[in-house]
Amino acid sequence: MSLPNKPVYTGGCQCGAVRFRVNGALTSVSICHCRMCQKAFGAFYAPLATAPEGGLEWTRGEPKRYRSSSHVLRGFCGECGTPLTYEAPDGVALAIGAFDDPASVAPTRQWGIEAKLPYVDALPALPASPTEADGDATFLADLVSCQHPDHDTESWPPKERT
């Protein structure tokens, strides 16, 4: 149960082998432009939300970890590769895109701007279309998703698919 003063967040990797639960309010929500975060996420920057101390629970599986520096571990799903954590001595931050409801986890500040890629600020001005507008991607018509749904499941993947 979720109360306004004690929120609960859930999430996990794309394949569903790793699932997490955060009990309590996130203590910081940010994006990091640093070069290490770019690499770890394979992205322009890392979107990260820090769990309250003692508030993070791995409810299915656990991430594999790569030591990216003397003080930091990067967690990711060993099955599908989804980036999941930034683990530093002062806390564990989770990848915002891995949350079941990432829209509820809005960043409030930026870090690592010395490494910000030069085109990042121009991205919102690029031509924009919904997925289905890509008429060349005819395979989309009968596509079946293997992605874990955005909620906890009793078991995964569904039996009929294994």
By the criterion CB under 5 A, which residues form the site for Zn ion? 13, 15, 17, 32, 34, 37, 77, 79-80, 112
Smallest gap, in angstroms, from Cβ of residue 10 to Zn ion? 15
Of 73 and 80, the one with the shorter C-beta distance to Zn ion is: 80
Smallest gap, in angstroms, from Cβ of residue 37 to Zn ion? 3
Contacts of 70 (CB under 8 A, 6+ apart): none
Secondary structure letter of residue 38 according to DSSP: H
Of 17 and 51, the one with the shorter C-beta distance to Zn ion is: 17
Of 5 and 162, the one with the shorter C-beta distance to Zn ion is: 162
Number of helices (H) and strands (E), helices first, in the chain?
Answer: 1, 10
Of 7 and 61, the one with the shorter C-beta distance to Zn ion is: 61
| Distance of alpha carbon 45 from alpha carbon 111, whole angstroms | 9
Smallest gap, in angstroms, from Cβ of residue 133 to Zn ion? 29
Smallest gap, in angstroms, from Cβ of residue 17 to Zn ion? 4
Smallest gap, in angstroms, from Cβ of residue 46 to Zn ion? 6
Of 79 and 100, the one with the shorter C-beta distance to Zn ion is: 79
Residue 22 near residue 58, CB atoms below 8 Å: no
Q: Which residue has the tokens 């794309």?
A: 14
Secondary structure letter of residue 117 according to DSSP: -
The values of phi and psi at residue 96, to 5°, are -60, -35
Q: Would you call 11 helix, strand, or coil by DSSP?
A: strand
Of 96, 28, 25, the C-alpha closest to 54 is 25
